[in-house]
Structure 1
Amino acid sequence: MRRRVKGKLSDDDRDVWNEVKKTATPMMRAEFVVSRDLSAKSPKKTPPKSLDAMITQFEVGARSARTPMGHNLAPSVSQRLAHAPVEMDRKKFGKMKKGKLKPEARLDLHGMTLAHAHPALQGFILSSAAAGRRLVLVITGKGKDRDDGGPIPIRRGVLKNQVPHWLHQAPLRSVVMQVNEAHLTHGGSGAYYVYLRRNR
């Protein structure tokens, strides 16, 4: 007995198959029947890409090749303040931005830790509001570049970034109307104008 080759019919089997085909009744109309060559090989499926091939190779702490340093961060405090709605009188706001309004008091937080700066800021703002002052200056400094090259970028100037958050939190948000970066004559991006609400 000859061994059958997989996928191929012998001459005898082909003859039997042809005789069977003559007796078969198609289930659909003939024009819709699609004949298929049983000996034809089905097309090979493209294997899916491995997970390793889809993940870009990187090293922990390496900077992204797609975006320059700094673009992976959220908008800076300066950008957020520049786009904040103006709640104070617009004419006064324009003068304040140009450095034409003189601050009535100032607080210098230069060199303080967060633990010391926070209570100092709260005391200064609340006492200024109680004294009826409207415009005060808070100096934070621009800060040192503390980015140590780790995987999470760190903004320059811890106090510079933290002070506006504190000013918008209780209990200070009830007395603070507007916060804006100071004009160059009063310290520029290393200081903030804080415009206080009128005492009632």
Structure 2
Amino acid sequence: MSDLKNNLKQIKKRLQTQAAAPKPAPAPPPAPTDHELFMAEVRDVTPLYRKPDYQHPPEWPSPWPRQRMKDEAAVMPDAMTDFWPWDELESGEELLYLRAGQKLDTLRKLRRGEWVIQGELDLHGLNTDEARTAVAGFLLQARQNNKRCVRIIHGKGLGSKNREPVLKLKLKNWLVQRNEVLAFSQARAVDGGSGALLVLLKGWREK
């Protein structure tokens, strides 16, 4: 019985000691974040009206199959021969061409510069093979981008061996062999004169 009383006294004494010991200070609250500080500063601000973000329309895929484009680009230069039944044309004559079935007024408008020039190719510094390849690729790209009127600068031949416009005479042969070419004419003086051609092309929807 005495042992039990002693145990109770010791337990009571231990509890009193623990109660008298100072309690540890509570941990300080975490510092506010930059976002929390900012939101506290602007809590009384009225938000401005914001229009919904503009949804851009999806980019439509090209109507030209990729394989067809590659095949056509590879074949076009080979299909453009340097010779054509009208090689008797004098080098100083104005180049004019209108595909059969087209209205004569189409050529008149082209000569007067009524079509907006949407693309340009400069053949200066190219030999015949390089120029033929450049023209083929240029026509293909223009057709794919639905460009209707383009300018091809062939030069006046002042730097050639015989001072003759070699590329001018070959260019007319190449162009008449291309089905997408509807007409071409010598450019106006402000657009290059006898050193350039304005070429009218079919739209990509036209067969």
Q: TM-score, normalised by structure 2?
A: 0.50
Is the contact between residue 129 and residue 199 of structure 1 (CA under 8 Å) also seen in structure 2?
A: yes
Correspondence for 1:63: none
Correspondence for 1:188: 193
In structure 2, how many angstroms separate the alpha carbons of the residues matched to 1:79 and 1:191? 13
**TM-fit CA distance, 1:163:** 0.9
**Alpha carbons of 1:76 and 1:83: their partners in 2 closer, same or farther (altered >3 Å)?**
farther
Give the aligned CA root-mean-square deviation in angstroms. 2.5
| Correspondent of 1:109 among 123, 137, 162 | 123
2:136 aligned with 1:128: no
**Alpha carbons of 1:83 and 1:131: their partners in 2 closer, same or farther (altered >3 Å)?**
closer
Q: Tell me the number of residue pairs that the alignment of Structure 1 and Structure 2 aligns.
A: 118
Is the contact between residue 135 and residue 195 of structure 1 (CA under 8 Å) also seen in structure 2?
A: yes
In structure 1, how many angstroms separate the alpha carbons of the residues matched to 2:173 and 2:154? 13
**Alpha carbons of 1:112 and 1:98: their partners in 2 closer, same or farther (altered >3 Å)?**
same
| Correspondent of 1:141 among 143, 150, 155 | 155
Q: Which runs of 4+ in 1 moved over 3 A?
A: 77-92
2:173 aligned with 1:165: yes
Question: Which ranges of structure 2 fall in alignment gaps of 5 or more residues?
Answer: 1-86
**TM-fit CA distance, 1:194:** 0.9
Is the contact between residue 149 and residue 198 of structure 2 (CA under 8 Å) also seen in structure 1?
A: yes
Q: Aligned runs of 1:32-71 on 2, under 5 Å?
A: none
**TM-fit CA distance, 1:107:** 0.5
Please give the secondary structure, in 2, of the residue aligned with 1:174: coil
Q: Which has the larger radius of gyration?
A: 2
Give the counterpart letter for 2:181 in structure 1.
Answer: V
Give the counterpart letter for 2:120 in structure 1.
Answer: R
Q: TM-score, normalised by structure 1?
A: 0.52
Q: Which one has a larger percent helix, Structure 1 or Structure 2? A: 2
Is the contact between residue 98 and residue 182 of structure 2 (CA under 8 Å) also seen in structure 1?
A: no
Give the counterpart letter for 2:192 in structure 1.
Answer: G
**TM-fit CA distance, 1:183:** 1.0
Question: Which ranges of structure 1 fall in alignment gaps of 5 or more residues?
Answer: 1-72, 148-154
